[in-house]
Amino acid sequence: MQIACSSSEIFEFWRNVENLPSFMIHLQSVTKVGDSISHWVVEGPAGHTIEWDVEIINEHPGEMIAWQTLPGADLQSAGTVRFQPFNNAQTTEVTVILQFGPATKDLGAAMVRLFGESPGKQLEEDLLRLKALLETDVGANLA
């Protein structure tokens, strides 16, 4: 996804994990627990919530952030977001890679209902909301 902002601006916005629910519609909340650990809450089917803790395991300011769920989470996941500047650094290509580990049968079914059958499509829609948010004055005020 190309976003008309510098890679450092987008990195800072994303690195403040409490901003994530502003464009990821399934996230009910993300709360910082420490500098690299956060608690995520997703509203699931039938009003149930699914919660887990995430740790940022690698980061390079303005370039990338990598994270993984902490041991004991019902759903193991990991991800990386990369910020690649181009067009004289006035635009940034944002790329997200997500990996999911095995889930319990009930949780796996709940996640499919929650995110639909295409997590990739949901991610694309989330990135479109991020683009719209950051390319307006609203995003500048949230960073």
Tell whether 38 is covered by a domain.
Answer: no
Residue 121 lies in a domain: yes
Q: How confident is the model at residue 29 (pLDDT cuts 50, 70, 90)?
A: very high
| Residue 98, phi then psi, degrees to nearest 5 | -120, 145
Q: Domain range holding 113?
A: 2-14+56-142
Q: Is residue 62 part of a domain?
A: yes
CA distance 50 to 33: 17
Residue 35, domain member (yes or no): no
pLDDT tens sequence across 34-91: 999 999 998 766 777 888 999 999 999 999 999 999 998 877 889 999 999 988 878 9
Beta carbons of 93 and 114 less than 8 angstroms apart? no
Q: And the tokens for 139?
A: 């995003």
* Mean pLDDT score, 5-31: 94
Q: Around Cβ 113, how many Cβ atoms within 10 Å?
A: 11
Answer yes or no: is 34 within a domain: no
Q: How high is the mean pLDDT of the chain?
A: 85
pTM of the model: 0.84
Within a domain: 37: no
Number of domains in the chain: 1
| 67 touches 78 (CB < 8 A) | yes
Q: Tell whether 39 is covered by a domain.
A: no
For tokens 């901003």, the residue is 19
Strands (E), 1-143: 2-3, 27-32, 37-43, 49-60, 64-69, 75-86, 91-103
CA distance linking residue 25 with residue 118, whole number of Å: 15
